Amino acid sequence: QVQLVESGGGLVQAGGSLRLSCAASGRTFSSYAMGWFRQALGQEREFAAAISWNGGSTYYADSVKGRFTISRDNAKNTVNLQMNSLKPEDTAVYYCAATAYWYGNNWPRVRENGMHYWGKGTLVTVSS
């Protein structure tokens, strides 16, 4: 069992920045690839960013590439998402998730059943 808890969500103006964090417990954190997903009101959950177990590889959705940066600190059992140049379209509940697999170029196609563990989410609201 792995428990994931997101934090750092809130209200931010368009063009601003926000940093999300995910704290993991229950298992060896470094054994898992980690991903951030987001779900806007009335929309399905979509992939945003992923990082491999050792941080050596990252992958981003086209919609966030160049603006978001995913990172992890295995010593602290945390994964972060630095979000810059935020847009109103980024408004969503952001979820942290863990998996034993690395999906490579298929990350944008990963859905909820492709991840082994999920956090409860944190709300990010970007105003115009």
User: Can you give the pLDDT of all 128 residues of the chain as single tens digits?
Assistant: 889 999 999 999 999 999 999 999 977 777 899 999 999 999 999 999 999 988 999 999 999 999 999 999 988 999 999 999 999 999 999 999 999 999 999 999 999 999 999 999 999 999 99
Degrees to nearest 5, angle at CA 66 with 77 and 31: 25
* CA dist., res. 79 & res. 50, Å (int): 10
CB atoms within 10 A of CB 108: 15
Q: Shortest CA distance to 99 belongs to which of 49, 5, 35?
A: 35
31-60 core/surface letters (b: 16 or more CB in 10 A; e: else): ebbbbbbbeeeeeebebbbbbebeeeeebb
* CA dist., res. 70 & res. 73, Å (int): 11
On whether the CB atoms of residues 48 and 102 are closer than 8 A, the answer is no
